Amino acid sequence: MCSTAYLRGETVRVDNVHAFEGHIACDAETRSEVVVPLVYTGADGELRVLGVLDLDCVTEAGFDDVDVRALEKIAELVVLSCEWAKE
């Protein structure tokens, strides 16, 4: 899921990780996951992905839309805190 979010440059939320083809478990007890890319605009105006914010949950469908919006805001704040991303 991390590579999917990174390559797409968009948040990926999966309610049942066992149904996500290619899922690589960090923890065998994980049931749901959300991955938010850390995206910034380069000096050339192009969007770039710095990394991802990856959260797992032991409950199926453990993340909702409110969680996703909050995590996307946190990711935005992380990127904004990087001095080089401000250039």
Question: For residue 75, what pLDDT band results from cuts at 50, 70 and 90?
Answer: very high
Domain ranges of the chain: 2-86
Task: Give CA–CA dist 72/53, Å, rounded.
Answer: 9
Interstrand relation of 47-57 and 32-41 (parallel, antiparallel or unpaired): antiparallel
Note the CATH architecture for domain 2-86: 2-Layer Sandwich (3.30)
Tell me which H or E stretch contains 2: helix 2-8
Task: Give CA–CA dist 67/41, Å, rounded.
Answer: 24
Per residue in 14-70, pLDDT tens?
999 888 887 777 778 899 999 999 998 888 888 889 999 999 999 999 999 999 999
